[in-house]
Each structure stands twice: as structure tokens, then as C-alpha cells.
């Protein structure tokens, strides 16, 4: 019988703008996600942009970009429209209840992101916003009450809107300085209470205004912004190690698996190139240097990096301690496929979710092995889960057997990677332990949670929380730990 050690970290993960809400409370400044409308699988989310002549334009935004803003336009919040991040699922007021429910399942870790504009409303204040710090302190108090470790994401695909609008976000090295001031504040205030930190979320996958604060989402802007984020991450790691001895730093990548569509050499070669589009980011951050193939990758995209003397030394000194990733699905590529980091072509051997995400548990085992073979650093699975439509039965229960199937198969694959293949894995935090707003579509009906939140796509509902069938199932898995699978 397979069983994990008692030290293994079991938990859940959220991002502030998908869960917190309270967008104008506690002195919080506007964040780049606050302009994003709701959408659906067929209707991309968008920003409404006010043009200099007073007219409005629409800038479509997509999970993985592009979401450029039209020249001269400013994104705008219309008071009568629904913006999912403004209320989200109101974790801001429900955190005690949510943490108690998660603790009731046996979680010993909780991954959450800090909203940068709660701490520095415009990103540039000389002193932090005390009410913002206090909110997260209360979250940490609650976690400590139940013996749950925090895993803090410093930057989850968003930044203060002011930094985006004034400096073009991560296009500017000024944003690095602001980020480091923000990190210093977090480390000073929460350093004694948090061991695990993630400097950035999925930086291989996100581009454009909402995630990187850049007006454009083209390759030149994207790879330059990424270079600045690499420098920021490396300096945060150094600062964190100095200020918090024993702290462990990772960053998070979207590493859903890719397979060659056939064994034709061209398809296999193209698969290697596509995989390198993600390795590029993890290689720089985990190894502390650009890989040899970076020159060719950038040349093919017509990108010239704006580097400065001293950058290489910074990257080298701030390599990550562990490598973490999200894993939801897999795809295939052939020699001619269009590919955007996680989304390639379908795989005829795999079923898909209603959102077209193929379900591939073995791919998780494969991915864990690939990552460990490549970096030889501990790994942490910080997002995984099934977005599905749930039905509340007449008696109020939610019989989500499909979610149990997904989680069981992926957790078994994870345990095989750990116990058979020997991959050192610090923990597993499933995405959205309680239902939250979907990043890609802004919907509520794409539910990941083992805890149901009563809210619909338009933001209506009581926000009441109810454990689903999968909650009780997960509780047994964690108690065993893993043996009940
Ligand atoms: C990850 C993000 O890419 O995928 C999360 O880090 C996101 O923020 C998750 O929610 C699932 O994507 P979606 O679009 O189903 O919410």
C-alpha cells in the first residue's frame, strides 16, 4: 500500500483577485485585474478603454494574451457594470470560515497571493498601507490557529494599476524597485511566520496588461518584461534569504504536458522547441542563467533583450530553491502546430472537460519526472484540479464524483512519481479549494472547489459555503495520508 509521509504538505491555492473581493476596502488601490469584465469560453473577457477623444474601445483579454490596449486609451471602470474581481467570492470577509473549513479537511498548507495594491496602493508610496498588512496578518493568525503553513505568492499575474498606467508595468526597471520595496515589507512583517514563498505565478504563460501591466503583448514587450521579472525574482530571493534565514523560494510555471502528435522526427523536434518556450523561464530562474537555446528562441521572435551590465550576476545569485508548477491538462503538437505554452492540439486518447481541457493524470507523473530530472531541486505542485459545472441537489448536496475521479487519478499519479520514481515533492495544493472566479473566463460556473460557494456568473448569490461530496473524500485521503486512494 502506498502512503505519503506525515510531513507532506496537503492544501489548496487561491489568487487574491479571484477570491478576495473587497476591492475598495482597507485602502486597497486599483489592481490591473479590476478592469476585466466577465466572459465565457466563447466570449473573451475584455477591458473597456476610454480613448483621448472621449469614445470607448474594447480591448479583448485572454488567459494567455494578447491583451494590448489601444494607443492612448485608459482602461476604465463603469460603476454599473459587473467586474468579477471587485467582489470575487468575498474571501476578504469570509476568510475565517474558509480557513476553518479547509482545516476541517486536514489541510496543513494554504497557498494565497498578496494583493500588491493592498500593501502599496499605487506601488510607489514611501510607506505601506497598514490596513492591507493587517488583513494578511489576520489571515496568518487564522492559519496558525489550525497549524496550517502559509505558502505566499508575492505576484500572481497582477500589479497596482498605477504602475501599469504610469510606467508600462514590467516593461520598466522602475517596477523592479517598487517590487523589491513591496517584498521587503512582506519579509519584514511576515518573514517569521512564512517559510515558503513564490516570487511570481506562471510567468511563462502570462502577458499583456492584466498580468504584466504592459500596454502591448507582443514578443518584444513580453520577453523584455520577463527579463525584468527575472531580475526582480532573483533580487527578492537574495533579499529573502538575507532577511529570513531558512526561507525557501520558488516561482510557479504553467507546465501542463506536451506530446509530439506522432513519432515523425519533425513533430518530436517541434515538441522540444515548444517545451523550451516554458523551460526558458524556469531555466533562467532555477539555474540562474539564460540557457544556450535562448539566443535562437529570441532571434526567431525578432526580440532584442534590453540587458545591462551586472544582470547576469544578479540572476546567478538569486536562483530558486525549489521549482513549482501548475498542472491541469496536456496537449499535442506537430511540426506545424500553433502553440501558446499550454494549449496545443487535442489528443485523441484523452477525454476533455466542458472547457476543452484534456484530462491526463499520467502526464502529471511525466511532468514531475521531467522537472526533477532537469533541475534536481525539490518540486511543489501548487495548482491542479478540475473546473466543472456542479449541480446542487434538492437536498442541498453536491455529488461531484467527476471531481473525485479527477483528483484521485492525479493524486495516484503524483504518489507514483514520489514513491516509485523517487521525485522529491514538498506538497500539493489543489486549485480553488472553495469555488472562485475563473481567471480565463471570469465565470463562477467553472468550479474547482471541494467547497461550494453560492454565487453565479453575474455575482448573485448568498456566498454561503457548503462542503461537496469531494470534501469528505479528500479528508479521508489526507488523513491516510494517500493510502485511501
Ligand atoms: C492558473 C492560474 O493558470 O490556472 C490561476 O494560476 C487560474 O489563477 C487557474 O485560475 C485555472 O484557470 P481558470 O481559467 O480555469 O481559472
pLDDT per residue over 32-46, tens digit each?
999 999 988 888 888
What is the residue whose three cell numbers read 490596449?
Answer: 69
CA-closest residue to ligand 1 atom 15: 438
Residue owning the nearest CA to atom 16 of ligand 1 = 438
ipTM: 0.98
Q: What separation in Å is there between the alpha carbon of 339 and the centre of ligand 1?
A: 18
* Bridge partner residues of 112 (DSSP): 152
For cell 521525485, the residue is 423
Ligand 1 centre to CA of 328 (Å) is: 9
The three cell numbers of residue 184 are: 521587503
The model's confidence at residue 206, banded by pLDDT at 50, 70 and 90, is confident
CB-ligand 1 contact for 155 (6 Å cutoff): no
Whether residue 64 has pLDDT greater than 60: no
d(CA 381, CA 198): 12
- For the residues of 12-65, what is the DSSP string, one character each? EE--HHHHT--TTSTTPPPBGGGGBPP--SSS--EEEEE-TTS-EEEEE--TT-
Q: Give percent above pLDDT 70 in the chain.
A: 98
Nearest to 225 by CA among 114, 337, 68: 68
Is the pLDDT score of 446 beyond 80? yes
pLDDT tens track for 79-123: 889 999 999 999 999 999 999 999 999 999 999 999 999 999 999
The DSSP code for 169 is G
Nearest CA owner, ligand 1 atom 14: 440
Domain 9-35+82-479 belongs in CATH node 3.20.20.80: yes
CB 449 within 8 A of CB 393: no
- Residue 62 pLDDT class (50, 70, 90 cuts): low
Which atom of ligand 1 lies nearest, measured to the CA of 202? Answer: 6
How are the residues of the chain apportioned to helix, strand and coil, as percentages rounded to the nearest 5? 40, 15, 45
Fill in the DSSP letter of residue 280. Answer: H
Q: What is the pLDDT of residues 158-194, one digit of tens each?
A: 999 999 999 999 999 999 999 999 999 999 999 999 9
For the chain, the structural domain boundaries read 9-35+82-479
Q: How far apart are CA 207 and CA 223, in angstroms?
A: 9
Cα-only R_g, the chain: 21
Quote the strand ranges of 329-401, DSSP E.
Answer: 330-333, 379-383
Write b or e for each residue in 199-222: b if 16 or more Cβ atoms lie within 10 A of its Cβ, otherwise e.
Answer: bbbbbbbbbbbbbbbbbbbbbbbb
d(CA 161, CA 124): 11
What pTM did the predictor assign?
A: 0.97
Residue with cell 463603469: 78
Torsion of CA 389, 46, 278, 265, to 10 degrees: 80
**Residues ≥6 apart with Cβ < 8 Å to 207:** 64, 65, 66, 67, 214, 217, 221, 222, 225
Amino acid at each position: 500500500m502506498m502512503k505519503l509521509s506525515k510531513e507532506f504538505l496537503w492544501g489548496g491555492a487561491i489568487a487574491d483577485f479571484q477570491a478576495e473581493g473587497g476591492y475598495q476596502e482597507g485602502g486597497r488601490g486599483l489592481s490591473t485585474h479590476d478592469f476585466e469584465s466577465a466572459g465565457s469560453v466563447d466570449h473573451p473577457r475584455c477591458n473597456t478603454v476610454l480613448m483621448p477623444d472621449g469614445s470607448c474601445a474594447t480591448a479583448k483579454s485572454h488567459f494567455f494574451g494578447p491583451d494590448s490596449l489601444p494607443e492612448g486609451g485608459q482602461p476604465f471602470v463603469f460603476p454599473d457594470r459587473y467586474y468579477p474581481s471587485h467582489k470575487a467570492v468575498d474571501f476578504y470577509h469570509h476568510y475565517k470560515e474558509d480557513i476553518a473549513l479547509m482545516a476541517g479537511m486536514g489541510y496543513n498548507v494554504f497557498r494565497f497571493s498578496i494583493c500588491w495594491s493592498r500593501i502599496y496602493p499605487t506601488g510607489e508610496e514611501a510607506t505601506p498601507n497598514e490596513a492591507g498588512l493587517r488583513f494578511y496578518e489576520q489571515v496568518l493568525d487564522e492559519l496558525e490557529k489550525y497549524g496550517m503553513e502559509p505558502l505566499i505568492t508575492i505576484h500572481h499575474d497582477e500589479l497596482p494599476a498605477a504602475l501599469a498606467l504610469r510606467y508600462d508595468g514590467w516593461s520598466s526597471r522602475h517596477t523592479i524597485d517598487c517590487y523589491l520595496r513591496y517584498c521587503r515589507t512582506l519579509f519584514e512583517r511576515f518573514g517569521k511566520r512564512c517559510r515558503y514563498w513564490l516570487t511570481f505565478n506562471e510567468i511563462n504563460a502570462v502577458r499583456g496588461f492584466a498580468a504584466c501591466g504592459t500596454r502591448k503583448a507582443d514578443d518584444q514587450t513580453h520577453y523584455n518584461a520577463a527579463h525584468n521579472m527575472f531580475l526582480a525574482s532573483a533580487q527578492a530571493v537574495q533579499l529573502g534569504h538575507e532577511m529570513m534565514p531558512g526561507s525557501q523560494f520558488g516561482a510557479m510555471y504553467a507546465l501542463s504536458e506536451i506530446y509530439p502528435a506522432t513519432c515523425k522526427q519533425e513533430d518530436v523536434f517541434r515538441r522540444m522547441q515548444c517545451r523550451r518556450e516554458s523551460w526558458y523561464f524556469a531555466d533562467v530562474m532555477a539555474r540562474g542563467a539564460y540557457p544556450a537555446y535562448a539566443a535562437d528562441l529570441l532571434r526567431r521572435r525578432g526580440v532584442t533583450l534590453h540587458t545591462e551590465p551586472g544582470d547576469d550576476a544578479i540572476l546567478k545569485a538569486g536562483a530558486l530553491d525549489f521549482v513549482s508548477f501548475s498542472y491541469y491538462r496536456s496537449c499535442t503538437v506537430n511540426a506545424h502546430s500553433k502553440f501558446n505554452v499550454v494549449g496545443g492540439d487535442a489528443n485523441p486518447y484523452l477525454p476533455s472537460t466542458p472547457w476543452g481541457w484534456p484530462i491526463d493524470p499520467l502526464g502529471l507523473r511525466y511532468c514531475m519526472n521531467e522537472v526533477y530530472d532537469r533541475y534536481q531541486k525539490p518540486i511543489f505542485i501548487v495548482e491542479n484540479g478540475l473546473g466543472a459545472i456542479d449541480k446542487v441537489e434538492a437536498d442541498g448536496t453536491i455529488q461531484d464524483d467527476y471531481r473525485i475521479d479527477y483528483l484521485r487519478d492525479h493524486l495516484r499519479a503524483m504518489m507514483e512519481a514520489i514513491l516509485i520514481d523517487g521525485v522529491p515533492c514538498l506538497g500539493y495544493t489543489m486549485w480553488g479549494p472553495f469555488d472562485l472566479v475563473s481567471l480565463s473566463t471570469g465565470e463562477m460556473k467553472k468550479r474547482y472547489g471541494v467547497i461550494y460557494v453560492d454565487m453565479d456568473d453575474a455575482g448573485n448569490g448568498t456566498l454561503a459555503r457548503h462542503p461537496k461530496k469531494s470534501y469528505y473524500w479528500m479528508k479521508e485521503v489526507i488523513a491516510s495520508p494517500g493510502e485511501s486512494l
